[in-house]
Chains A and B, each alone.
Chain A
Amino acid sequence: MHTKRLKSLLLASTVIASAGAAGAQDVTLTIESWRNDDLTIWQDSIIPAFEAGHPGIKVQFTPSAPAEYNAALNSKLDAGSAGDLITCRPFDASLALYDGGKLADLSDLAAMANFSDVAKSAWQTDDGAHTFCVPMASVIHGFIYNKDAFAELGIEVPTTEDEFFEALDKIKEDGTYIPMAMGTNDQWEAATMGYNNIGPNYWKGEEGRLALIKGEQTLTDEAWVAPYRQLAKWKDYLGDGFEAQTYPDSQNLFTLGRAAIYPAGSWEISGFNAQADFEMGAFNPPVANAGDECYISDHTDIAIGLNAASPNADAAKQFLEWVGSAEFASLYANALPGFFSLNSAPVEMADPLAQEFVSWRGKCHSTIRSTYQILSRGTPNLENETWNASVNVIKGTETPEDAGKRLQDGLASWYAPQQ
């Protein structure tokens, strides 16, 4: 009796489901992404919001592991089995896909008008004529600190480098907290949260970055070596055995309240909010002298494009228009505090730490990571070498000057404007 009822129930649901599909001619769009952390956010808030306004289009979010994403996506695109919508890495990874005819040109999408040129720069051809992904979000670098620890030790939030190192000295002297939670085992933190976090203050953001691309500045210039000099001083403030400390180790050290300062990217915010039971604040990278102009790394990180081979291009374009809307911007920025909307429309955010980060856009100049545009196209790869050099400098196995010279030699070996 029981099984019979179950069977008929199953049968009925199958009939209803197939009837529904046949009736509405639903189109299902599949999204390729590396953000597997965001699966629930897409499923519970973003996709339902879209589907509510667009009957007849179903969306599936199918992320893969971040480290494998690029390789997996390329294979899927070559095999013709990739989803309709492709989450775009910034710059060359996506540009190569566009050049290879895998991503469609989206320049004439109406929603593109909602984004500034800087926001779009990461997903454009070098001449800026074609845009192939709709910008979703950027991440901002700075330092997150333990407010309780600062209050306990009577430390003011540092605004200049001298104050920054005074604060670190004070924390070290007290001994309760590890002054700064960062390790060099995984290498990328040293470059991303180290060099490219504090660097823009020295090379004056976009000014220096563009000059480097044009070949007017070199990596041996003071502006590009000075950040290494600061990194070299960090060594004394990192925890014991930082050489083997991994990225999750650093996150845990900070959220467990064992470290006072964490060189951060804003993507940490939601994770830290969930883990830490103390109050957190954030400060932008300290400047050399009080009153100096400040610069922050406000890195265009994530966008979404259209698989050129998608059979559902019309439905996918509707989705992309929606991604470019103010509704999506507000939904996304609030669901994922720390991923800041690139939309020109201002977005209200509820999270105080996210507000703190985004407030720097008002007082500082934004730039993106120096190695991402054009400069990491050759061999040796400047981004990988910057990871390596930042780690060496922090560990003291290479001097800042040697590191700058090595990177410059490597860049000049293949990049014509630097020769």
Chain B
Amino acid sequence: MATRSRIHIAVFLAPAVLVYTAIMIMPLFNTLRLALYETTEQTRHFVGLQNFRTLLGDPNWSGAFWNALGNNFWFFAIHMAVQNPIGIALAALLSHPRLRFAAFYRTAIFVPTILSFVIVGFTWKLILSPIWGIAPGMLDAVGLKALFAPWLGKEAYALTTLALISVWQFVGIPMMLIYAALLSIPEEILEAGEIDGITGWSAFWKIKLPLILPAIGIISILTFVGNFNAFDLIYAAQGALAGPDYSTDILGTFLYRTFFGFQLQLGDPHMGSAIASAMFAIILIGVCIYLFAIQTRLRRYQF
């Protein structure tokens, strides 16, 4: 009897397990496996960790790899420093009980998130275009034309510009998550604070912020995973060669060029898989640090 009652668990789990295995687990392990091979003269043979040694040891590869990784960290840093504080601020404003048209603002700020990367990349390229763009015209109108530069074409600014475009696109997500967290704080707690003389700013810092910290943690980890898997925006705006002078090259574009090839560069699925595995490892380490070092220390409150 006991054994028969367990079979149905497997039956019910089977569809999800099978689909997930076929489209997630298999490709993942196959990628990891592919990274251990090499193709010479049309035949594939096992080379162990040689591809990783090349990736990290051969200056032709490691230069590009560290450059992409560094750019990725900068991309992530801009998101953490700009997107999440703005998201929190917007959520705090939106949750203000006396704000009018809150639903309109919420929708307007969230809309870019559902736009395709291609549209966002193309639109911003047009806005910032030194030839037809409205950015130089608008700066000119307020007498700040001198501040304009062809940002996407300058090594020093291109990556930051793209990161800010990405922030513009995705600021709606932290805003929504934190907005939801703020709404779930019971009125009684805030009222109890008011009685103790904690109002306004100090209510935000002392009551609301500690209560939304878990949500901020989740957002940080989502941002981290999203940024280290990013590819689309850079590809749409700067192309696979991630110009100028590889200054916007992140792991995603580096992987694309290596795996699929570019122009005369033939695709190398084995080196490509090695890069993909490295990305997987980096993200895994990042998520582990979060899970074990940060999340366990976050205090949760039950209402």
The distance in angstroms between the C-alpha atoms of A391 and B239, with both chains bound, is 14
Residue A84 at the chain B interface, CB threshold 8 Å: no
Residue A91 at the chain B interface, CB threshold 8 Å: yes
The distance in angstroms between the C-alpha atoms of A18 and B63, with both chains bound, is 61
With A242-B153, A244-B130, A387-B241 known to touch, is A376 a contact of B265 (CB < 8 Å)?
Answer: yes
Closest chain-B Cβ to A335's Cβ sits at a distance in Å of 26
Of chain B, the residue at the smallest CB distance from A398 is B245
Residue B125 at the chain A interface, CB threshold 8 Å: yes
Closest chain-B Cβ to A247's Cβ sits at a distance in Å of 10
Query: Are A185 and B42 interface neighbours, CB within 8 A?
Result: no
The distance in angstroms between the C-alpha atoms of A391 and B154, with both chains bound, is 11
Counting chain A residues whose Cβ lies within 8 A of the other chain, the interface size class is: 35 or more
Closest chain-A Cβ to B58's Cβ sits at a distance in Å of 8
Query: Are B241 and A241 interface neighbours, CB within 8 A?
Result: no
The distance in angstroms between the C-alpha atoms of A96 and B264, with both chains bound, is 11
With A71-B261, A186-B239 known to touch, is A395 a contact of B150 (CB < 8 Å)?
Answer: no
Query: Are B243 and A391 interface neighbours, CB within 8 A?
Result: yes
Give chain B's interface secondary structure class: loop
Closest chain-A Cβ to B117's Cβ sits at a distance in Å of 15
Query: Are A96 and B266 interface neighbours, CB within 8 A?
Result: yes
Closest chain-A Cβ to B38's Cβ sits at a distance in Å of 13
With A91-B264, A187-B241 known to touch, is A380 a contact of B129 (CB < 8 Å)?
Answer: no
Query: Are B60 and A249 interface neighbours, CB within 8 A?
Result: no
The B137-167 residues at the A interface (CB cut-off 8 A) are 149-155
Closest chain-A Cβ to B50's Cβ sits at a distance in Å of 14
Say which residue of B151, B153, B155, B266 sits within 8 Å of A245 (CB atoms): B153
Residue A92 at the chain B interface, CB threshold 8 Å: yes
Cβ–Cβ < 8 Å partners of B266 in chain A: 92-93, 96, 377
Query: Are A187 and B265 interface neighbours, CB within 8 A?
Result: no
Contact with A along B31-43 (1 / 0, CB 8 A): 0000000000010
With A245-B131, A387-B241, A391-B245 known to touch, is A379 a contact of B60 (CB < 8 Å)?
Answer: yes
Query: Are A388 and B246 interface neighbours, CB within 8 A?
Result: yes
Cβ–Cβ < 8 Å partners of B154 in chain A: 243-244
Cβ–Cβ < 8 Å partners of B42 in chain A: 99-100
Residue A74 at the chain B interface, CB threshold 8 Å: yes
With A187-B243, A379-B61, A392-B245 known to touch, is A371 a contact of B150 (CB < 8 Å)?
Answer: no
The distance in angstroms between the C-alpha atoms of A305 and B60, with both chains bound, is 34
Of chain A, the residue at the smallest CB distance from B130 is A241
Closest chain-A Cβ to B44's Cβ sits at a distance in Å of 12
Residue B128 at the chain A interface, CB threshold 8 Å: yes
The distance in angstroms between the C-alpha atoms of A187 and B153, with both chains bound, is 10
The distance in angstroms between the C-alpha atoms of A249 and B152, with both chains bound, is 14
Of chain A, the residue at the smallest CB distance from B238 is A185
Query: Are B244 and A391 interface neighbours, CB within 8 A?
Result: yes
Among A184, A246, A372, A377, find the residue whose CB has the most chain B CB atoms closer than 10 A. A246
The distance in angstroms between the C-alpha atoms of A388 and B67, with both chains bound, is 15
Residue B267 at the chain A interface, CB threshold 8 Å: yes
The B224-253 residues at the A interface (CB cut-off 8 A) are 238-241, 243-246
Query: Are B265 and A381 interface neighbours, CB within 8 A?
Result: yes
Query: Are B263 and A188 interface neighbours, CB within 8 A?
Result: yes
Query: Are A187 and B131 interface neighbours, CB within 8 A?
Result: no
With A241-B153, A249-B129, A253-B131 known to touch, is A376 a contact of B264 (CB < 8 Å)?
Answer: yes
The distance in angstroms between the C-alpha atoms of A387 and B240, with both chains bound, is 12
Residue A397 at the chain B interface, CB threshold 8 Å: yes
Cβ–Cβ < 8 Å partners of A67 in chain B: 240
Closest chain-A Cβ to B110's Cβ sits at a distance in Å of 29
Query: Are A384 and B129 interface neighbours, CB within 8 A?
Result: no
With A92-B266, A245-B153, A384-B265 known to touch, is A239 a contact of B245 (CB < 8 Å)?
Answer: no
Query: Are A184 and B153 interface neighbours, CB within 8 A?
Result: yes
The distance in angstroms between the C-alpha atoms of A78 and B93, with both chains bound, is 55
Of chain A, the residue at the smallest CB distance from B149 is A241
Residue B73 at the chain A interface, CB threshold 8 Å: no
Residue A410 at the chain B interface, CB threshold 8 Å: yes
Residue A383 at the chain B interface, CB threshold 8 Å: yes
Closest chain-B Cβ to A308's Cβ sits at a distance in Å of 14
Closest chain-B Cβ to A269's Cβ sits at a distance in Å of 23
Cβ–Cβ < 8 Å partners of B129 in chain A: 241, 244-246, 249
With A187-B243, A245-B153, A379-B60 known to touch, is A384 a contact of B131 (CB < 8 Å)?
Answer: no
The A45-102 residues at the B interface (CB cut-off 8 A) are 67, 70-71, 74, 91-93, 96, 99-100
The distance in angstroms between the C-alpha atoms of A93 and B244, with both chains bound, is 26
Of chain A, the residue at the smallest CB distance from B41 is A99
Contact with A along B86-107 (1 / 0, CB 8 A): 0000000000000000000000
Residue A275 at the chain B interface, CB threshold 8 Å: no
The distance in angstroms between the C-alpha atoms of A173 and B130, with both chains bound, is 21
The distance in angstroms between the C-alpha atoms of A335 and B49, with both chains bound, is 53
Cβ–Cβ < 8 Å partners of A207 in chain B: none
12 example contacts (A-B, Cβ-Cβ < 8 A) are as follows A93-B264, A100-B42, A253-B131, A376-B265, A381-B263, A383-B263, A384-B241, A384-B257, A387-B241, A391-B243, A410-B60, A413-B60
Known: A240-B130, A242-B130, A377-B266; 13 extra A-B contacts, CB below 8 A, are A92-B264, A183-B153, A186-B239, A186-B243, A187-B239, A187-B244, A241-B150, A243-B152, A244-B152, A244-B154, A245-B130, A245-B153, A381-B262
Which 5 pairs between the two chains have the least Cβ-Cβ distance? A241-B130, A243-B153, A244-B150, A244-B153, A241-B150
